[in-house]
Structure 1
Amino acid sequence: MIYTFEKSDLITKQLRKFTTAYTHHVVGQYANIDFWINEVVTSLKAIDEHKKRFDKLYTAQKEWTEDHGTVIHKYCFICNGRCEFSNGKPSLPVYKQEKGLRKELVDAAYFFLLRCFRIGLLTREELKQKCDTIGTSIDPNDLE
């Protein structure tokens, strides 16, 4: 899995745990709310910039293999050596798009913040400020 996506997934899973955890566990995590918000914001930025980083990686690998005449033959499992059917061209990385990770991360953070609000750790104003920071709005129905 791609590092950026794996990290986002880990943060999402942690935040989801907090939404159903015992209240005293949520209070403990709330004590580190700035850390968790920063993790979310940093991960969102990494997701958003993934294509730009991939393009640099792809271009660098392509230029290197062309400039240096890099030859990599595939391994043959039959003869335990170089595959005679391999063209020797190194395979370049393939771009993989994130599919829904960004939304899942924001949703997990939102529901954690909402849980903090419901148990009295955040005021409405603080909830709004934190939601603005992670780029989401508040559903008025969630405040009832």
Structure 2
Amino acid sequence: MSFSTDMAKLVADQLSRFVTLNRHQLAGQVANLDFWLAQVRHALAVIDGYGVRFVRMHAAQEHYVGQHGTTEFVLGAEDYTPRTAPTAPRRVPDRELRQARRLVVEAVTRLLERCRAEGLVADAVVSDALAEFAE
């Protein structure tokens, strides 16, 4: 797991929990709907921006290694064995990022639909939000 996918899961889990609330509890959360929609936007932006951030991080590490002649060491039974080059960072697989994005979008969709069904949020608000978060 990565920060991007962990964050998305946290937001999706919280929104999914809201869908199961009693109507009066859900009404309480709707009072903060702008906050929760902002969390969805942020989680999606974190996921969508991952590739650019990874490229930047990888390039900065390579630059540092090149300038400083950095090596890594592998712990052996008796001594340290130097490697010729440090291990490159591992990229989060695209499928994990897509899945995390899908979880957030599905959770916010379920929440908005429940809010609409309960008459807690106007149809226009739900339609606009659903259009914004459509994959």
Map 1:61-140 to 2 at 5 A.
61-76=61-76, 78-79=77-78, 81-82=79-80, 84=81, 86-97=82-93, 98-135=97-134
Equivalent in the alignment of 1:25 = 25
Q: How far apart, in 2, do the equivalents of 1:61 and 1:117 lie? A: 48
Partner-residue secondary structure (3-state), 2:73: coil
Residues of 2 paired with 1:32 and 1:134: CA distance? 18
Quick one: percent identity of the two aligned structures?
A: 27
Contiguous gaps of at least 5 residues in structure 2: none
Task: Give me the whole-angstrom Cα distance separating, in 2, the residues matched to 1:55 and 1:61.
Answer: 10
Q: From the two aligned structures, give the one with the greater helix fraction.
A: 2
Superposed CA deviations along residues 22-41 of structure 1, whole A, max 9, x for unmatched, are 22221111110000001101
The structure with more radius of gyration: 1
Q: How far off its partner does 1:88 sit? A: 4.3
Aligned residues: 132
TM normalised by structure 1 equals 0.84
| Segments ≥4 residues shifted beyond 4 Å | none
Equivalent-residue separation in structure 2 for 1:46 and 1:93 (angstroms): 18
Report the 3-state secondary structure (helix = DSSP H, G, I; strand = E; otherwise coil) of the residue aligned with 2:5: helix
Q: Which has the higher contact order (CA 8 A, sep 6+)?
A: 2
TM-superposed deviation, 1:89? 2.0
